[in-house]
Amino acid sequence: MIVNRDRLIQLLSHQDARVRDASVHALERFFSGSPGIIEYILQSIKVFRDDCLSLVAGIKYFTPSVNDVQEIVSIINETDKHRDETSQNIYFQLTQSFLSFPFEILNENQNIFSFNKELTKLYKILQNRDGFKKQDPKHLWNELTGFCSQHRDKPVEGENIQYAQLLLEALSQYGDQIKGKIAVLLSQEKPDNYLLNEYMVDLAGRLKLEQTVPYLFRILQESDFMHTVHSLCIRTLGNIGTKEVVEKIEDLYYSNQSLKTAFADILKYIPYDYAEDLAIRLIKEEKDVSVKTFLACALCDMFSIKGITTIKDMIKMRSYDSGITTLVDELIPVYVYHNESLDELLVLEAPSKKHEGEQLQNDPLYQMGQELKKHLDLPKTVQGKTQKKELPNNKRDEKVISLKKERNKRKRKHKKKRKK
C-alpha cells in the first residue's frame, strides 16, 4: 500500500481544510472500519469547529472506542442544533454515526445516553436494530429476497430504504454463509429482479468477494451511468481492489471510450503501486483532457508521489479540464503528505488560474449562470427608487431548469450511456 494510515491521521489536524478533507476521505476509502481514528477526528473537530463537516461526516466509517462514544455524546450535548446550519449538521451527523457503530460498544456506554431525550430514544432504536441483526441468516436472506419481490416495479423510498440497508448490514455479518448465493445471483446475465441484483452488488463490496469481479465488470458495462447499480459497481470493484481488477481495467480501457471515467473512479479506491502505475501510464497515452483529469484526481486521491510530475506537466501544458477540478488544489494535500515544498505549486497557481478563467468563460453552464445573474441583478427605477428587476416565477424556474439540464449534459459528457 502506498498510503500510510498514521500519516493520514496526522494530517487530520492540518491548518489547511483541503488537506484535512483529503485525509479523512482517504481514511474512509482505505481504512474503513478501523479503530483508533475517531479520537483524532474529534480532536480536529474541536479545533476547526466552523469548518469540520467533512470530518464529522467521516466518523461513521470507523470503529469507536468506549471513550470515543463518550466524547461524541459530550459534543452532541454541547451543540445547539438550532443555532446555525453548521451546528445542525454537526448534531445530525454525530447522532447518525451511532447507527453505524457496533452495538456492544454503545451498550458499554448505555448510561450516558440517558441524559439526552433524543439519545435515549435513539438508544432504544439501536437496541432493536441489534436484535434484528442477530436473526438467523436464512431468515434475513428470505426477508431481503421477499422485500425485492414486493418492490420489483416500484421505487424504494423513505423507511423502506432504511429497512433494506438494515437487512444488508445484518447479512454482511454472515459472509461465509451467503457469499455463494451472492456469486450465483450476480453470475446471471439476465437477472429477473434488478433491485435484488443491485443489493447483491452492494453485498459483494461489503464482503470484498473477489470471485464476483468478472460479473461486476459485466454489470458495469451493461448498466446506464444514471442507475444506482452503476455507481455501486465502481465502489465495489474499488473495495475489492485486487490486481485482477486493475488488469481488467487495462484490458477494457481502450475498447470502452465512454467507460474511461468509471475506470478512473475505480482506481482511486486502490492505493497500490499497480493501480498507481496504470493511472500514470493511461494519462500519458490519453487524448481526452476530461478523462486525463479524472485519472489525475485518482492519483491525488491515493496521494501518489510518483504521479506529481505527470500532473504538474498537465497543469503547465493546460491539458486538463478546470470544469472538473482545480488540479493545483488537488495536489496540495499530496505535497503536504510527502513533506514537499509548496513553492513550486505557487509558481503554477497563476497560469493555472488564467487557464481556468479562460475555460470558464467558454463554459455554456457558466454563461447561462451569468445571464441569469444579469436578469436578477438588473436595476430598474420604480417611484424614484432603484430596485432589482424581478423575473416572473415561471421565467426564473425555466432558467433554473435550463441550468440543471446543462449540468446534466456535462455529466453525460464524462460518463457512459449503455451500449445497445
Question: Could you report the average pLDDT of every consecutive run of 10 residues in the chain (420 residues)?
Answer: 97 96 97 97 95 96 96 94 92 95 93 90 95 96 96 88 96 95 94 92 97 96 89 97 97 94 97 98 95 97 96 91 89 96 82 68 60 59 46 40 44 47
pLDDT of 367: 58
pLDDT of 391: 42
Amino acid at 416: K
pLDDT of 384: 47
Cβ-Cβ contacts under 8 Å for 373 (sequence gap 6 or more)? none
pTM of the predicted model, to two decimals?
0.83
pLDDT of 365: 58
pLDDT of 266: 98
| Contact (CB, 8 A) for 215 and 191 | no
pLDDT of 363: 62
